[in-house]
Amino acid sequence: MTLSHDKALVLFSGGQDSTVCLAWALQRFAEVETIGFDYGQRHRIELDLRPRIRTALANLDSGWKQRLGEDHLFRLDALGAISDTALTRDVDIAMSESGLPTTFVPGRNLVFFTFAGAVAYRRDAKHLVAGMCETDYSGYPDCRDDTVKAMQLALSLGMDRRFVLHTPLMWIDKAATFALAREIGGDGLLDLVVEETHSCYLGDRSRRHAWGYGCGDCPACRLRAEGWAKWVRECTP
Ligand code: ZN
């Protein structure tokens, strides 16, 4: 693959999707920085895993090690304060009357992109890479392709700088995300994704399954477990 000379900033939470996106970016861009947010999420443990995953990725490939740049971590207490949801409070994870799960933090990804755009501007990064996905998503409107395209336009106009937003997982499911991890970084990356990345909304890392750690019962765990089962069924010999 031809390496672009441009710089990219990856929205990196420490989850499965954003870890695969980070590897995707390291494969393509000469310089890759990461950004993460602490907004009082219940699965805060993912923030502790971020540096470990970055180090493990750098150790997988000498080119990646060279290209992986700074990490930026910001506290967004205000986002936690204004969102009374199952991701930030001890509320049951269920479907609400609006048809959206109670884990929906209104506007979260819009806020993330705005901060990421500001950092990208300052760090002279043209590309923003994020793990939003429409395929087996929970109906979050801020994960939609149209939302991301609108943000690309808004950031480019609002900062008078051309930004390109990439969402490599937008049209693939969780099984294909596991397959993509192996395609990009072989079994080393696949093992890293299973062992080190975190998806469980409840932050449970006491139970280890074939697909990684988690409670096994929340929507994020179920999605990951089903994706793994499908990947094993369809993509392994
Ligand atoms: Zn879980």
Helix (H, G, I), strand (E, B) or coil at 237: coil
Helix (H, G, I), strand (E, B) or coil at 108: helix
Span from the CA of 20 to the centroid of ligand 1 (angstroms): 19
Span from the CA of 197 to the centroid of ligand 1 (angstroms): 13
pLDDT in tens, 77-129: 888 777 666 555 565 656 666 666 656 677 889 999 999 999 999 999 999 99
pLDDT for the residue 136: 66
Span from the CA of 214 to the centroid of ligand 1 (angstroms): 5
Span from the CA of 158 to the centroid of ligand 1 (angstroms): 38
Domain for residue 232, yes or no?
no
**Rounded Cα–Cα distance for residues 35 and 195 (Å):** 21
**Rounded Cα–Cα distance for residues 145 and 67 (Å):** 28
CATH code, domain with 73: 3.40.50.620
pLDDT band, residue 43 (cuts 50/70/90): confident
What is the arithmetic mean of pLDDT over 26-38? Answer: 97
Domain for residue 222, yes or no?
no
Span from the CA of 198 to the centroid of ligand 1 (angstroms): 9
Kindly tell me if the per-residue pLDDT of 131 is higher than 90.
yes
Domain for residue 90, yes or no?
yes
pLDDT band, residue 33 (cuts 50/70/90): very high
- Per-chain mean pLDDT for the chain: 90
Domain for residue 192, yes or no?
yes
Domain count, the chain: 1
Residue 93: which domain range? Answer: 4-198
Span from the CA of 182 to the centroid of ligand 1 (angstroms): 24
Domain for residue 101, yes or no?
yes
Domain for residue 218, yes or no?
no
Alpha helices for 61-173 (secondary structure H)? 62-67, 77-82, 108-123, 145-158
**136 or 127, higher pLDDT:** 127
Residue with tokens 């937003």: 165
Span from the CA of 28 to the centroid of ligand 1 (angstroms): 32
pLDDT in tens, 162-204: 999 999 999 999 999 999 999 999 999 999 999 999 989 888 9
